[in-house]
Amino acid sequence: MFINNFDPVAFIFFSLEIRWYSLAYIFGLIFGWIYCKKYLIHEENKKNLFDDYITYLIIGIILGGRLGYVLIYNSSYYFTNTTEILKIWNGGMSFHGAVIGIIISTIIFCKKNNENVLYFLDLIALSAPIGILLGRVSNFINSELYGRETDIFWSVKFILVDNVNRHPSQLYEAVFEGLVLFIILNLINKKKELVSGNISALFLIFYSFFRFFIEFTREPDAQLGFIIFNLTMGQIISFFTLIIGFFLFYFTNVFQRK
């Protein structure tokens, strides 16, 4: 058993609290940006265009992630406490909401610059696991999104939460949705027969698969509990994104290989 008593605040800079969660977002974007430009994008004009795209991406992630959490996971609270919606530093971001935000911001950017939407979404799919890994580690440090009670020897007691031994589900997600997903997608990307959109589809498929099963070890959101068939909201959404991933993979191959 491991005792988790980490401080969510990484350090204080001129009375300003810098939290691990914020650092995860910042470094996730920086590392993903560098990885795309150094290893994935080979045309110089695309590299310059990608620099402009990052601004759209950041806006999509923040707006989509926050609104997704507000609408899907805690609407009753935020509709009566609307000023809290802006307080992102207090936590509350939805991965699936961020995905929708990324898709919308990418469509807007690509229409403006006459670029292939699927090409840019594939770049994000290949680099996003870096940010996911850092984000889940910060969830662990923050003692949030913790696991269900267990007596396994690697269980964790989150002192800031209670005195119960729990699954470190955040670390399970960091490994599978971050490290493993990154390796799988980037190995597949080396194949020459892929078409635009294939990687984005595979990202949705593998992420949804990992998320669905890991959620069996994760404590349901207190305000929602189990939704149906003892499944959490995250599992239900992951089921639908899994189906969307399969459809996207099928249609990108059908229409681009004609």
What pLDDT digit, counting tens, does each position of 28-44 carry? 999 999 999 999 999 99
Which of the pair, 79 or 128, is modelled with greater confidence?
A: 128
- Residues 180 and 160: their CA atoms lie apart, in Å, by 29
Asked whether the beta carbons of 56 and 63 are under 8 A apart, the reply is no
89 conformational bin, left if phi > 0, alpha if psi -120 to 50, beta if neither: alpha
Number of domains comprising the chain: 1
Q: What is the pTM for the complete model shown?
A: 0.93
Residue 188: domain span: 2-256
The yes-or-no verdict on residue 236 having pLDDT over 80 is yes
The yes-or-no verdict on residue 160 having pLDDT over 60 is yes
- Residues 68 and 74: their CA atoms lie apart, in Å, by 9
- Residues 204 and 78: their CA atoms lie apart, in Å, by 28
Percent of the chain with pLDDT over 70: 98
- Residues 152 and 45: their CA atoms lie apart, in Å, by 52
